[in-house]
């Protein structure tokens, strides 16, 4: 900064700053130098002006630090100029000579080259620089001690091949550059900088003027020769120059409004706006801008003042745009944060106001009030120990912080405790006749199951209350076990809840989780009570024979407490940790195979076996239940379809031979789906869409032919409508034509869409009647059944009309019901002592042992009947059970095997239409078997007339319904001798 000082000011500053440097003599208060300056005051005007020109040069700071920041340099420069002038004046008037010790800045033609890595140094600005080179640092310290505190600051060029806009992490350290390498990397134009302070390796530089390097003098530390650069001449009154400078000043002021980063610098500018010149204004704008170093170096190298101002204007304009973007980002974030804070404050104020007015309480008080209100209706019936736990948890809830995890655990726990129906029971209906009606409506047959339910209801009526029972319905798939449970709940007027335990391997599903676990939940029974809101529901536990067992425990063992009538009055769930009374709950379990249920669990159940349905029962179910439901689901009326009895019989015998009726329902649905498709195809295209198209066409014609309302035009429109709506245009009903012709003319208007629709309604009804008459009724008979359900799946089980020698029909039980089973024995090889038996047919271990026992017993019986017959001793036999792909096992085929072997040995076939079942001991005793009902049904299905059962199974057979036993001649035997007489008796 250029400053002009008056004579009085100069005198005062010299008195202040040089009094110590130039001591006084004796009692005179003025030193020699000051006495010389006082003598100068009377000099001529010419000498004074010369003195001012020499002394008033100083380089002040323009970075906002004020006069104090450069006071030392001003003193040094002023002292230097004063000494020089005094020396010149005294050379003429006195013999005293003062030698200058501080050279002028322009006298420095060789300077130390300090490399700058980030930005160039502009004249009038300070810059701290870290000097890592020890030799360079020592040279700078030495220069400052010698009162020559000046050096050259030059910007380092970017490495070749690098993008200057992208910072490189691998950029070579400047301190590693030495000598010629450093010299080549420096920009030619730099700044003469005064060393104002050195602390450690931190050197503070203040720029004075521009320099240009010419050549290298020394390499370590780097010293270069420089030329001092001056700005080109310019016209201060140039309008373009003024306008550019004004725009720079205006932009700087705008930046001050938007960005606080420039505030200190711009405030300095506004305080000293009068002292700024055009070159300094350009340097000021470039120095404080955030432009990259190449742009700033371009401003530094520019000596044309107008061009420098233009470049600076570009930089500050860019800064202005960046400031606007910064302001927009800050405003958006501030709005978001302030909006959330404002909403939070308003919510808190609203809560405080509501609480003050008594309109609302805080969260914990509201929760406690909600739980107490929920518990109030059940408080009298709730057990005391449960009430105590609830009160303790409510007190604990008030002491916990709402943000703690324990608060949420306690809140959820109280939610479950207060939601359970403590002591709340639904009113049961003990009307036996109503229950009988409901059970008969939902299910055909199943007399034993219905009888057991009616007994349960009768006992409850006599006692006035009902106790929970555990009933297990076992039977093949599709016999209606699950639906029976739903019907029982409806008959008893109990709430129904079902959950399946098939594949369940986690005990926590039954007993619940501990509350300490994250995401803990109560068990199924607690969830059930919360859902049904009564303490005496009917709970159906499905597929109890398919319980799993994994690393999470044994659910079958966990069910023991739940299904034990002596223990479930105090069932303890791990989550609730308070006893729950389940003694009033009626448990109904379902299973396919009872043998798969663990014995301790099975011991707690009352098993009711559902063996399956015979053909007559399936016929009734298909006709009265399945067909009706399927027909309604498909949208077909009874007048459109007729399924003959023969079709149902063929469907049951040849397609759905299993014990249940689920597959029968699927086949009936398949039939009705195909019938629905057939009816839709015969009905023709969609009539509704055609009517809409016809109305649209008529509207268009009425618009085109406006004003024509003749009866002839009406008739044409009506005829076109008939041709579109009718399914068959050639079969228009004469009745519809008569109705149409009788319509009054004043009610038919071409331009009225509503009247046209009203006039066509009788005609459409007549056409619908005509179409319904033309649709033929679909009849399903045995002859066309295969067109709807495909070819028959099952052939007749009975392979032989009269079983040949060595072949006997047995009766077997399967999970799908009962079936007949042929056992065949043939002679393989004859020879002395070659008696042996080979069994095939994928038999299990039990049946293999049965075949060996049967072989031994058959030899003993043959020896007693025909002592001379050595067939078994000298014959190798092969016993086979057909359907080798099906695994077979079980202790009920012994007597059948013996009969087959004896038939072959005696060369005599067994009695016609005979089937038998039973296991034989080595002494010939017949042991009881299972599945009497299934085997009886299988015998009837195969047309068997005579059946042989062990005498121990007489009780099971007597319990069968009369329609199952009808037409069978049943013999109960204790010893094989009885079977021998029945099988080989002479007709």
Joined tokens for residue 462: 């006599």
Q: Convert the pLDDT of each residue in 401-450 to its tens digit.
A: 878 888 888 888 999 998 899 888 888 888 899 999 998 888 888 888 88
Q: Are 217 and 132 in contact (CB under 8 A)?
A: no
Residue 880 pLDDT: 92
Count other C-beta atoms under 10 Å from residue 391's C-beta. 12
What DSSP state is assigned to residue 540? E
- Residue 949 pLDDT greater than 90, yes or no: yes
Q: What does the pLDDT look like over 837-890, one tens digit per residue?
A: 999 988 889 999 999 999 999 999 988 888 888 888 888 999 999 887 778 888
Measured CA to CA, the distance from residue 689 to residue 687 in angstroms comes to 6
Helix segments in 567-644, DSSP class H: 599-602, 615-621, 627-634
Structure tokens at 790: 């495909």
Percent over 90 (pLDDT), the chain: 12
In the annotated binding site for ATP, the residues are 475-482
Q: Determine contact, residues 301/191, Cβ cutoff 8 Å.
A: no
Q: How far apart are CA 669 and CA 632, in angstroms?
A: 11
Whole-model pTM over 0.75:
no
Whole-angstrom distance, CA of residue 213 vs CA of residue 228: 9
* Model confidence at 150: pLDDT above 50: yes
Confidence at residue 686, expressed as pLDDT on a 0 to 100 scale: 58
The whole-angstrom separation of Cα 474 and Cα 461 is 27
From 266, 250, 288, select the one nearest 64 (Cα to Cα). 266
How do strand 946-950 and strand 914-916 relate by DSSP bridges? parallel
Angstrom distance (rounded) from CA 503 to CA 481: 19
pLDDT in tens, 614-630: 788 888 899 888 999 99
Grade residue 362 by pLDDT with cuts at 50, 70 and 90: low
Q: Are 915 and 809 in contact (CB under 8 A)?
A: yes
- Highest-pLDDT range among 204-213, 265-274, 627-636: 627-636
Give dist(CA 19, CA 31) in Å, integer: 7
**pLDDT score at 975:** 92
Residue 821 burial class via C-beta count within 10 angstroms: exposed 0-12, middle 13-18, buried 19 and up? buried
pLDDT at 93 over 50: no
Supply the pLDDT for residue 970.
Answer: 92
**Among 237-246, 657-666, 756-765, whose mean pLDDT is lowest?**
756-765
Backbone angles phi, psi at 592, to 5 degrees: -90, -45
Rounded Cα distance between 682 and 111, Å, is: 110
Given a cut of 90, is residue 971 above it in pLDDT? yes
Q: What is the mean pLDDT of residues 909-936?
A: 89
Residues of the chain above pLDDT 70, percent: 75
**Structure tokens given for 711:** 């009866």
- How far does Cα 831 stand from its chain's mean position? 76
Pairing of strands 189-199, 586-591: unpaired
Mean pLDDT of all residues belonging to the chain: 75
pLDDT, average across residues 154-182 = 65
User: If pLDDT is split at 50, 70 and 90, which confidence band does 331 have?
Assistant: confident
* H/E segment holding residue 143: helix 134-145
Bridge-based pairing of strands 586-591 and 470-474 is parallel
Residue 937: which residues within 8 A CB-CB, separation 6 or more? 611, 612, 614, 659, 817, 818, 964
- pLDDT higher than 50, residue 94: no
Q: Which two tokens stand for residue 55?
A: 């002394």
Contact 175, 221 (CB under 8 A): no
Annotated active-site residue 165? The verdict is no
Whether residue 807 has pLDDT greater than 70? yes
pLDDT of residue 312: 83
Token representation of residue 15: 């008195």
| pLDDT tens-digit map of 720-745 | 333 333 333 333 333 333 333 343 33
Quick one: tokens of 542? 């499905």
Confidence of residue 264 (pLDDT cuts 50, 70, 90): low
Identify the three-state secondary structure at position 807.
strand
Average pLDDT on 132-139 reads 83
151 and 114 in contact (C-beta within 8 Å)?
A: yes
Q: What pLDDT, on the 0 to 100 scale, is given for residue 280? A: 80
Residue 173 pLDDT class (50, 70, 90 cuts): low
Q: Long-range pairs for 727-732 at CB < 8 Å and ≥24 separation?
A: 727/683, 727/684, 727/687, 727/767, 727/771, 727/774, 728/774, 731/770, 731/774, 732/767
> Could you tell me the pLDDT band of residue 358, with boundaries at 50, 70 and 90?
low
541 band by pLDDT with thresholds 50, 70 and 90: very high
pLDDT at 277: 78
The SS3 of residue 878 is strand
Q: Which of 122-131, 157-166, 612-621, 848-857 has the highest mean pLDDT?
A: 848-857
* Mean pLDDT score, 765-774: 48
Across 78-105, average pLDDT: 42
Q: What pLDDT score was predicted for residue 131?
A: 84
Residue 269 has what pLDDT? 52
Q: What is the pLDDT of residue 100?
A: 42
pLDDT at 268: 57
Q: Which of 70, 892, 900, 903 is catalytic?
A: 892
User: Residue 606 forms beta bridges with which residues?
Assistant: 471
pLDDT score of 109 more than 60: yes
Residue 917 vs residue 269, higher pLDDT: 917
How far, in Å, CA of 417 to CA of 428, rounded? 25
Distance (Å, rounded) from C-alpha 771 to C-alpha 704? 34
Task: Kindly report which listed range (18-32, 304-318, 454-468, 618-632) carries the lowest average pLDDT score.
Answer: 18-32
**Given 760, 850, 935, 942, the catalytic residue:** 935
User: Does residue 25 or residue 508 have the better pLDDT?
Assistant: 508
Residue 553's φ and ψ, nearest 5 degrees, are: 115, -175
Least confident of 120-129, 156-165, 525-534: 156-165
Structure-token match 């000043």, residue found: 249
- Is the pLDDT assigned to residue 924 strictly greater than 80? yes
Crossing angle of the two packed helices 662-683 and 645-654, in degrees rounded to 10: 130
Span 748-762, mean pLDDT?
A: 42
Annotated catalytic residue 892: yes
Ramachandran category for residue 479: left, alpha or beta (phi over 0 → left; psi -120 to 50 → alpha)? alpha
800 vs 562, residue with greater confidence: 562
Cβ atoms of residues 622 and 666 within 8 Å:
no
pLDDT of residue 671: 92
Q: Which tokens hold the place of 79?
A: 């002292």
**Residues 532-552: what's their mean pLDDT?**
87
- Which residue ranges are tagged as binding site? 475-482
């Amino acid at each position: 900064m250029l400053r002009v000082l008056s004579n009085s000011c100069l005198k005062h500053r010299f008195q202040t700053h040089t009094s110590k440097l130039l001591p006084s003599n004796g009692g005179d208060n003025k030193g020699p130098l000051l006495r010389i300056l006082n003598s100068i005051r009377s000099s001529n005007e010419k000498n004074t002006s010369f003195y001012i020109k020499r002394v008033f040069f100083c380089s002040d700071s323009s970075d906002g630090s004020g006069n104090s920041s450069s006071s030392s340099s001003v003193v040094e420069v002023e002292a230097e100029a004063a000494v020089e002038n005094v020396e010149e004046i005294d050379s003429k008037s006195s013999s005293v000579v003062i030698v200058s010790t501080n050279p002028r800045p322009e006298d420095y033609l060789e300077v130390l080259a300090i490399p700058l890595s980030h930005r160039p140094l502009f004249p009038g600005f300070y810059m701290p620089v870290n000097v890592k080179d020890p030799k360079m640092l020592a040279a700078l310290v030495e220069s400052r001690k010698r009162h020559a505190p000046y050096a050259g600051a030059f910007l380092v060029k970017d490495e070749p091949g690098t993008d200057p806009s992208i910072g490189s992490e691998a950029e070579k350290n400047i301190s590693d550059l030495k000598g010629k390498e450093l010299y080549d990397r420096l920009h030619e134009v730099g700044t003469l900088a005064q060393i104002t302070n050195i602390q450690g390796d931190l050197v503070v530089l203040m720029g004075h003027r521009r320099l240009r390097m010419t050549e290298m003098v020394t390499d370590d530390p780097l010293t270069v020769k420089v030329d001092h650069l001056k700005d080109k001449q310019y016209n201060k009154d140039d309008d373009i120059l003024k306008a550019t400078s004004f725009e720079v000043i205006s932009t700087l002021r705008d930046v001050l409004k938007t960005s606080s980063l420039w505030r200190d610098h711009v405030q300095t500018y506004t305080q000293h706006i009068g002292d700024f010149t055009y070159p300094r204004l350009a340097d000021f704008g470039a120095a404080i801008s955030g432009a990259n170093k190449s742009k700033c170096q371009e401003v530094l190298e520019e000596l044309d003042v107008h061009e420098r101002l233009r470049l600076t204007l570009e930089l500050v304009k860019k800064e202005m745009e960046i400031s606007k973007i910064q302001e927009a980002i800050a405003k958006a974030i501030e709005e978001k944060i302030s909006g959330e804070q404002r909403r939070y404050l308003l919510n808190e104020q609203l809560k405080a106001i509501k609480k003050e007015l008594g309109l609302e309480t805080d969260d914990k008080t509201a929760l406690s009030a909600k739980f107490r209100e929920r518990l109030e209706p059940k408080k009298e019936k709730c057990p005391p120990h449960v009430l105590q736990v609830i009160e303790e948890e409510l007190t604990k809830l008030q002491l916990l912080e709402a943000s703690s995890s324990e608060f949420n655990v306690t809140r959820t726990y109280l939610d479950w405790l207060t939601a359970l129906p403590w002591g709340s029971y639904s009113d049961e209906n003990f009307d036996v006749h109503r229950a009988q009606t409901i059970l008969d409506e939902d299910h055909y047959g199943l007399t034993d199951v219905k009888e057991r339910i009616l007994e349960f209801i009768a006992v409850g009526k006599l006692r006035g209350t009902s106790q929970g029972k555990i009933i297990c319905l076992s039977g093949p798939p599709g016999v209606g076990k699950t639906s029976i449970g739903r019907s029982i709940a409806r008959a008893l007027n109990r709430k129904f809840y079902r959950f399946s335990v098939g594949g369940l391997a986690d005990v926590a599903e039954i007993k619940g989780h501990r509350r300490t676990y994250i995401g803990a939940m109560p068990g199924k029974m607690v969830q059930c009570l919360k859902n049904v809101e009564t303490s005496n529901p009917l709970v159906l536990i499905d597929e109890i024979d398919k319980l799993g067992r994994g690393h999470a425990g044994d659910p079958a063992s966990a069910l023991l407490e739940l299904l034990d009538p002596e223990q479930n009055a105090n069932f303890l769930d791990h989550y609730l940790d308070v006893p729950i009374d389940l003694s009033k709950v009626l448990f109904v379990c379902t299973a396919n195979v009872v043998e798969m249920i663990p014995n301790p669990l099975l011991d707690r159940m009352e098993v009711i076996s559902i063996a399956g349905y015979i053909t007559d029962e399936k016929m009734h179910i298909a006709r009265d239940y399945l067909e009706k439901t399927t027909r309604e689901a498909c949208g077909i009326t009874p007048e459109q379809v007729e399924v003959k009895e023969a079709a149902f019989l063929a469907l049951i015998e040849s397609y759905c031979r299993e014990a249940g009726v689920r597959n029968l329902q699927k086949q009936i649905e398949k039939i009705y789906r195909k019938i629905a498709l057939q009816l839709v195809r015969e009905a023709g295209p969609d009539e509704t869409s055609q009517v809409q198209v016809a109305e649209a066409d008529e509207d268009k014609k009425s618009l085109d032919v406006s004003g024509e309302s003749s009866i002839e035009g009406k008739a044409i429109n009506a005829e076109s409508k008939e041709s579109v709506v009718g399914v068959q245009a050639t079969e228009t009903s004469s009745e519809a034509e008569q109705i149409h012709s009788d319509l009054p003319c004043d009610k038919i208007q071409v331009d009225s869409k509503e009247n046209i629709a009203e006039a066509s309604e009788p005609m459409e009804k007549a056409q619908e009647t005509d179409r319904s008459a033309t649709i033929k009724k679909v009849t399903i008979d045995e002859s066309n059944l295969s067109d709807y359900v495909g070819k028959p799946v099952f052939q007749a089980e009975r392979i032989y009309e009269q079983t040949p020698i060595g072949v006997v029909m047995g009766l077997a039980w399967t999970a799908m019901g009962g079936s007949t089973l042929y056992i065949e024995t043939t002679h393989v090889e004859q020879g002395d002592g070659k008696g042996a038996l080979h069994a095939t047919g994928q038999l299990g271990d039990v049946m293999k042992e049965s075949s060996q026992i049967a072989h031994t017993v058959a030899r003993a019986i043959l020896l007693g009947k025909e002592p001379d017959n050595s067939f078994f001793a000298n014959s190798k036999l092969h016993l086979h059970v057909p359907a080798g792909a099906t695994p077979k096992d079980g202790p009920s085929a012994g007597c059948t095997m013996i009969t087959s072997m004896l038939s072959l040995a005696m060369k005599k076939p067994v009695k016609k239409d005979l089937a038998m079942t039973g296991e034989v001991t080595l002494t010939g005793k017949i042991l009881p078997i299972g599945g009497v009902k299934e085997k009886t049904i299988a015998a009837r299905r195969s047309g068997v007339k005579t059946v042989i059962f062990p005498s121990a199974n007489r009780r099971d057979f007597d319990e069968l319904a009369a329609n199952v036993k009808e037409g069978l001649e049943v013999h109960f035997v204790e010893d094989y001798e009885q079977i021998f007489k029945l099988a080989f008796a002479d007709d």
